[in-house]
């Protein structure tokens, strides 16, 4: 399975093409739009989300809500394009306007203008923007339709906002409550503190990142491989999560904790119970030797604070070489809820890809038969 994305943040539309879906897969358009709306939600988001009403428009590959096995192409229109058309139109635009040369620390601006031989960081940030993730959420929701057919589900919640951390453990079922919360957090008191901090940061013109936990339930053992480094499931998932804008760290299971504990406190002991292998706990996060071991897959990712700070950080104006305050017109204070939805989506897509890589299958019946034969 392969996803190609295209589109600029203030261009006409965001576009995605998915290749490799089996035929006859039911595509739940309401679910896709629900995920797109969730990506726009959450406490701490900025002005852009008041303009956009992200909705998928499927252009090919689906007939009467079932996939055809052909490339599935779709678009998500940028409503803000109407305001940006004079400055963004491919057919001709006034590029003297909306120029950005006071490059933002932490954003793609500076390295991008140098690499692509530009004088206007607008030509970089439009594509580097996290708006691109709308496409990945739509594709992830389609991957969830595929996973649902096999009894695999993906969920998650926000564990930490700018150092305010929920250290509780939750069952997979408990995670479902997160999405109805303003910050997708599960402890009301901790969430309240995090919301107050976001208010403070908004006043101060500052931003916040956080930690998201993603869990995958129902995946049978043996997905991924120990035979070649490129096929290790943890490497594939870490790459998927790290590919999301603003992610600076990924953990699997106990993650960095493994470095602080002895072997007997880290490894999950194995028992045979009623003819099935079970483990004493799940520090491995459902992956051993680069393969799923049948336990829940547990991933965590750290999101850096949004690099557009309304108060502006020290920078250099690329046009003049003079010291400057970094550009800021509008920004999210925190986009951790969006990040949670995006991480679920990219994890779902990566797992669907690994399953389809192992099972093949031109049509859904073949895929389901092959999956059901696995123990």
Q: In terms of Cα–Cα distance, which of 240, 54, 220 is closest to 140?
A: 240
Going through 218-360 in order, the beta strands assigned E by DSSP cover 247-252, 270-273, 276-279, 287-288, 291-292, 297-303, 314-316, 323-325
Q: Would you count residue 306 as binding ligand EPS (CB under 6 A)?
A: yes
Q: What are phi and psi of 334, to 5 degrees?
A: -145, 140
Report DSSP state, residue 295. S
CA distance 178 to 243: 24
CA distance 235 to 226: 11
Minimum distance from residue 328 beta carbon to ligand EPS (Å): 10
Minimum distance from residue 121 beta carbon to ligand EPS (Å): 11
Helical packing angle, 364-372 and 133-149, nearest 10°: 60
Nearer Cβ to ligand EPS (153/245): 245
Minimum distance from residue 62 beta carbon to ligand EPS (Å): 24
Among 11, 16, 46, 210, binds ligand EPS (CB under 6 A): 46
Q: Would you count residue 78 as binding ligand EPS (CB under 6 A)?
A: no
Contact 53, 34 (CB under 8 A): no
Minimum distance from residue 316 beta carbon to ligand EPS (Å): 19
Q: Would you count residue 208 as binding ligand EPS (CB under 6 A)?
A: no
Contact 286, 293 (CB under 8 A): yes
CB atoms within 10 A of CB 192: 14
Query: CB under 6 A: which stretch of 124-132, 175-183, 221-229, 254-262 binds ligand EPS?
Result: 124-132
Minimum distance from residue 176 beta carbon to ligand EPS (Å): 24
Q: Would you count residue 207 as binding ligand EPS (CB under 6 A)?
A: no
Query: CB under 6 A: which stretch of 129-137, 140-148, 345-353, 356-364 binds ligand EPS?
Result: 129-137
Contact 60, 71 (CB under 8 A): yes
Among 295, 332, 340, 353, binds ligand EPS (CB under 6 A): 332
Query: CB under 6 A: which stretch of 27-35, 125-133, 169-177, 220-228 binds ligand EPS?
Result: 125-133
Q: In terms of Cα–Cα distance, which of 227, 220, 196, 214 is closest to 255?
A: 214
Nearer Cβ to ligand EPS (15/235): 15
First to last CA, the chain: 24
Query: CB under 6 A: which stretch of 17-25, 127-135, 152-160, 279-287 binds ligand EPS?
Result: 127-135
Among 42, 48, 251, 293, binds ligand EPS (CB under 6 A): 48
Contact 349, 250 (CB under 8 A): no
Query: CB under 6 A: which stretch of 21-29, 128-136, 142-150, 188-196 binds ligand EPS?
Result: 128-136
Minimum distance from residue 269 beta carbon to ligand EPS (Å): 43
Nearer Cβ to ligand EPS (51/227): 51
CA distance 59 to 316: 43
Contact 240, 321 (CB under 8 A): no
Q: Would you count residue 50 as binding ligand EPS (CB under 6 A)?
A: no
Q: In terms of Cα–Cα distance, which of 224, 221, 222, 251 is closest to 238?
A: 251
**Residue 332 corresponds to which tokens in the numbers above?**
């999210």
Number of residues that bind ligand EPS (CB under 6 A): 11
Interacting residues with ligand EPS between 7 and 36 (CB under 6 A):
9
Report DSSP state, residue 305. P
Nearer Cβ to ligand EPS (309/351): 309
Nearer Cβ to ligand EPS (125/201): 125
Report DSSP state, residue 334. B
Minimum distance from residue 198 beta carbon to ligand EPS (Å): 15
Among 101, 129, 153, 345, binds ligand EPS (CB under 6 A): 129
Contacts of 232 (CB under 8 A, 6+ apart): 224, 225, 226, 290, 291
Q: Which residues are near ligand EPS by CB under 6 A?
A: 9, 46, 48, 125, 129-131, 306, 330, 332, 338
């Amino acid at each position: 399975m392969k996803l190609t994305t295209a589109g600029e943040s203030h261009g006409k539309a965001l576009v995605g093409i998915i290749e490799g879906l089996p035929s006859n897969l039911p595509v739940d358009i309401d679910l896709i739009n629900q995920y797109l709306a969730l990506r726009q939600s959450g406490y701490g988001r900025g002005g852009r989300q008041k303009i956009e009403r992200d909705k998928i428009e499927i252009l090919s590959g689906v007939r009467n809500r079932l996939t055809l096995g052909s490339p599935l192409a779709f678009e998500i229109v940028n409503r803000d394009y109407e305001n940006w058309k004079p400055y963004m139109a491919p057919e001709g635009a006034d590029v003297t306007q909306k120029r950005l040369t006071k490059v933002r620390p932490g954003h793609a601006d500076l390295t991008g203008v140098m690499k692509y031989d530009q004088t206007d960081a607008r030509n970089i940030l439009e594509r580097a923007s996290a708006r691109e993730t709308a496409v990945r959420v739509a594709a992830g929701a389609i991957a969830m339709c595929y996973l649902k057919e096999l009894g695999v589900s993906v969920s998650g919640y926000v564990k930490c906002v700018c150092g305010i951390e929920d250290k509780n453990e939750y069952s997979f079922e408990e995670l479902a409550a997160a999405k109805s919360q303003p910050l997708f957090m599960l402890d009301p008191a901790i969430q309240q503190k995090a919301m107050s901090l976001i208010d403070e940061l908004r006043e101060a013109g500052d931003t916040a990142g956080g930690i998201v936990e993603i869990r995958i339930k129902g995946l049978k053992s043996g997905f991924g491989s120990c035979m070649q480094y490129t096929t290790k499931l943890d490497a594939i998932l870490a790459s998927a999560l790290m590919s999301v804008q603003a992610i600076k760290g990924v953990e699997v299971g106990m993650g960095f904790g493994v470095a602080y504990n002895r072997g007997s406190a880290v490894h999950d002991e194995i028992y045979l119970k009623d003819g099935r292998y079970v483990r004493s706990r799940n520090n491995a996060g459902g992956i051993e030797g680069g393969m799923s071991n049948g336990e829940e897959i547990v991933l965590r990712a750290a999101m850096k604070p949004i690099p557009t700070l309304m108060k502006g950080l020290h920078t250099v104006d690329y046009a003049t070489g003079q010291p400057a305050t970094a550009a800021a017109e509008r920004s999210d204070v925190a986009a951790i809820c969006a990040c949670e939805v995006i991480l679920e989506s990219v994890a779902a897509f990566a797992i669907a890809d690994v399953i389809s890589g192992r099972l093949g299958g031109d049509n859904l019946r073949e895929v389901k038969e092959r999956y059901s034969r696995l123990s």
